[in-house]
Structure 1
Amino acid sequence: MKKLSIFLLAIVSFAGINACSSDDDVVFVAQPDTEGIAFTSSVANNYVLTAATNDNVAERFVWNDVDFSTPTTVTYEVQGSASESFEDFIVAGTTRENNMAVNVATLRDLAEDAGLDNDPTTPEPSTGIIYFRVRAYAGNNGGNTLEQISGPVVLNITLPEAEGEEDEDLPKLYVVGNFLAASGYGTDWSATDGVPIAAEAEGNTAYEGFVYMNVDAPQFKILQTNENFDGNLGDAGDTDGVYTGTLESPGVNAGTPDGTGGYYLVSVDTEALTYELTETSWGVIGNATPSGWDSDTDMTYDPATQTWSVTLDLTEQEATENGFKFRANDAWTLDLGDTDADGSLEFAGDNIGVPEDGNYTITLDLSNPGQYKYSISKN
């Protein structure tokens, strides 16, 4: 999966001034700077867009204030189009500030308007161009609106092959037990509500995935399918709730290593008939974070979204030498980084960079087994 890197977007100049009068003889007179509007940051031209990063900030448009020399409010409207002429366009948003973030989903919508696709039968990614500009207007955007419109900025877009097509076909097992309802998954012991864990590839007998067991004494089994209990695997011990690390069919209900609940990395080998549970609590660490590389900043788990998140101040850092990573249990036994800078995570992957100083919300999503991802959004 590919992720759009986060950069600042600047627009070169505003052009086009209209003065109109209304029926009540209120007249707006524009007195813009003779050199036009100066914008304050550079533009990243190349973008790789994936559905997995739809909620991520793609670009932050930054411009300086417009002075219409009238006692009225000024609103800025960010427009995107598949055509340089902006014959048809979408409004990405409006603001009275001099900057606005645009997310990946908006760019993907425009890319589709431009005729790009992500056909999985096509060996090469689909590429194309989309355009953005900013319109500033005075007052309430009525029939006598005074406005200035910038020239367009060109964005080169790449849509990779359709995501998830191949991943959906990976072999999966399903974890069911007495924890499903309390953990936000569904009905206890329901095969259809089983939590999936996945193999790395077809024919691989090693499965893994993260499962939240929010009860005091979890008990569970491993199912071959999310339709029924045929061929279910349980612990090879003698009593329900035991944890021996060995599986048999049907076996007794398995438990956790210390008999308590938590957020577990579940690993199963269907050939060796073994399983392992590692309880985890996640945080971020790195020289982009307030505590540097010395200690983690803890994240909080939300069962409703099945994600971990934290809001904190970050400093600008460039990957891969600097930045931050995700780490479990305040140790380096389990850590996740982004080697390809695409929004997907790998164990022991590279550091993740931060584009500029600011307050950010970081989200970690481990709910899709083997397809772990994150987002970082400036507040």
Structure 2
Amino acid sequence: MKNLKIVLIAAIALISFNSCDEDDTNFEILPSESRAAIINLPTSGTSIVLDIANPTVTATTVVWEDAVYNVPTAIDYTLQFAAAGTDFETSFDVATTTTNYLVWTNEELNGIAVGTLSLTPFSPGDVDMRIKSSTGTNGSEAVFSEIVTISITPYTTEAPKIGVPGNHQGWDPPTAPSLFASAYGETDFEGYVWLDGDHKFIATNADGNFEWGNTDWGDASGADGTYTEALIADGEGNIGAPDGAGYYFIQADTEALTYSETIHNWGVIGSATGSWDNDTDMTYDSATSTWTLTMDLTAEEIKFRSNDGWDWNYGDDEGDGVLEFNSGTNIPVPSAGNYTIVLDLSTPRNYTYSLTLN
């Protein structure tokens, strides 16, 4: 009987040993807690100057180590930006992925910097970034990486503008025609505007809109209806149209505090009209803010000129429908016929035309 007990104990021990051995073979050690993603690139202090000349070239690549969860699962990553030092009180989700990297071109990151983060073009701005990771399952709690602070210097291709509210449009700034500067940061505004009496110049607000209460400029004389070609922002008078109602080319420099306004009446001239000596007058269409003319043309050449003279004329150097000032290149007429000719000077610094065969 004693021997039987010994045999049974030995058998149980052997079975238990084999069972443990099999469990050891299939045993998987799981992490005891979650760990957030770790950003490897870029590192804190990195300065990114976006290149306006190479919009499709890579500006930066964000790389991170995967987050770790206590169960095997697919992980969603969201890259968040916020103004530096704000502890993400207001955060922006700028990209989502299931990989552990993101690549941005100059153009893509610039769109985020200017459009989403409202950074000032051509000025470095500090930005906090972090990775939010989650499993996408119900009740899953997001975990966040450590914050990395970088500097981004964005750009813009948009020139600043000022408005021209006045008697010609009911003194309504939101609907005022615009003058554009030559480039961002410049104050040399220009454009064509139909004027009819007193007017002023007005700046945009932070949202890019013309509103009363914005900075505005008038004639430095302080008297309404005057035209001295000198501007002032305080104590100004309304500017008077120097030659009465008409279509004016306006230049205004809000730093130099100068302005000029020259009236223009447009015509078409050239071999296609039958003469390089006399032009055919166009008519201003206030509904479309364009100059129009319908006439017969031969398959030769034309140009647009102002005030029956050659001091102010437009041709087309590239043949693309965009006009160049005092160009040496005439505009070819493709075939003889009756044409509707449209001269569109309503978009500052982007003056165009069309020839439509009737």
TM bin, normalised by shorter chain, reads 0.5 to 0.7
Number of residue-to-residue matches in the alignment: 201
Structure 2 equivalent of residue 360 of structure 1: 339
The one-letter code of the counterpart of 2:308 is D
Letter in 2 for 1:367: S
Give, in angstroms, the shift of residue 230 of structure 1.
2.0
| Equivalent of 1:348 in 323, 326, 333 | 326
1:247 is aligned to 231
**The residue matched to 2:248 in structure 1 has which SS?**
strand
Distance 2:192 2:307 in 1: 14
**How much has 1:190 moved relative to structure 2?**
1.3
Distance 1:358 1:229 in 2: 52
CA–CA separation in structure 2 for the residues paired with 1:203 and 1:267: 16
Tell me how far 1:170 sits from its aligned partner: 1.2
* SS of 2:278 mapped into structure 1: coil
What is the percent sequence identity of the aligned residues?
Answer: 47
- Structure having the higher Rg: 2
Q: Secondary structure at the match of 2:338?
A: strand
Matches within 5 A, 1:256-271: 256-258=241-243, 260-271=244-255
Q: 1:228 aligns with which of 195, 199, 212?
A: 212
Q: What SS class does the counterpart of residue 179 from structure 1 fall into?
A: helix
Amino acid aligned to 1:191:
P
CA separation in 1, counterparts of 2:268 and 2:181? 27
Query: Residue by residue, what CA displacement relative to the aligned partner does 1:238-294 show, whole Å, maximum 9, x if unpaired?
Result: 310000000001311111223x1111001111221100000001001111113x101
Q: Which of 263, 282, 294 is equivalent to 1:311?
A: 294
Whether the 8 Å CA contact 1:241–1:256 is kept in 2: the answer is yes
Q: Summarize deviations over 1:204-238 as a string: whole Å, max 9, x none.
A: 2211101112x3xx101100121334220000013
Counterpart of 2:351 in structure 1: which amino acid? Y
TM-score by length of structure 2 reads: 0.54
Long gaps (5+) in structure 1:
1-119, 123-165, 181-187, 318-322
Structure 2 SS opposite 1:295: strand
How does 1:176-325 map onto structure 2 within 5 Å? 176-180=165-169, 188-213=170-195, 215=196, 218-225=197-204, 226-250=210-234, 251-258=236-243, 260-290=244-274, 292-317=275-300, 323-325=301-303
Residues 1-379 of structure 1: pairs in structure 2 closer than 5 A:
169-180=158-169, 188-213=170-195, 215=196, 218-225=197-204, 226-250=210-234, 251-258=236-243, 260-290=244-274, 292-317=275-300, 323-349=301-327, 350-379=329-358
Superposition misfits of 4+ residues, deviation over 4 angstroms: none
The 2-side partners of 1:228 and 1:356 are apart by 50
Retained in 2: the 8 A contact 1:280–1:329? yes
CA RMSD for the aligned pairs? 2.1
Higher relative contact order, structure no. (Cα contacts within 8 Å, ≥ 6 residues apart) = 1
Task: Give the 3-state SS of the residue equivalent to 1:377 in structure 2.
Answer: strand
Q: How many Å separate the matches in 2 of 1:121 and 1:373? A: 27
Helix, strand or coil at the partner of 1:370: coil
Equivalent residue letter for 1:178: N
For residues 353 and 343 of structure 1, the distance between their equivalents in structure 2, rounded to whole angstroms, comes to 11
Deviation readout 1:14-43 (Å, 9 max, x if unpaired): xxxxxxxxxxxxxxxxxxxxxxxxxxxxxx
Rounded to whole Å, the distance in 2 between the matches of 1:231 and 1:207 is: 15
- State the SS of the aligned residue for 2:216: coil
**Counterpart AA for 1:305:** T
Runs of 5+ consecutive residues of structure 2 not aligned to the other structure: 1-105, 109-155, 205-209
SS state of the match for residue 271, structure 2? coil
Compute the displacement of 1:121 (Å).
Answer: 5.7
2:174 match: secondary structure: helix
Distance of 1:328 and 1:370 partners within structure 2: 17
Following the alignment from structure 2 to structure 1, what is the Cα–Cα distance between the partners of residues 325 and 183?
16
- Secondary structure at the residue paired with 2:171? coil
Contact between 1:325 and 1:352, CA under 8 Å: does it hold in 2?
Answer: yes
In 2, are the aligned partners of 1:191 and 1:229 still within 8 Å (CA)?
A: no
TM-score in terms of structure 1 length:
0.51
| Secondary structure, aligned partner of 1:288 | helix
1:204, 1:346 → 2: CA distance?
21
Residues of 1 paired with 2:194 and 2:214: CA distance? 24
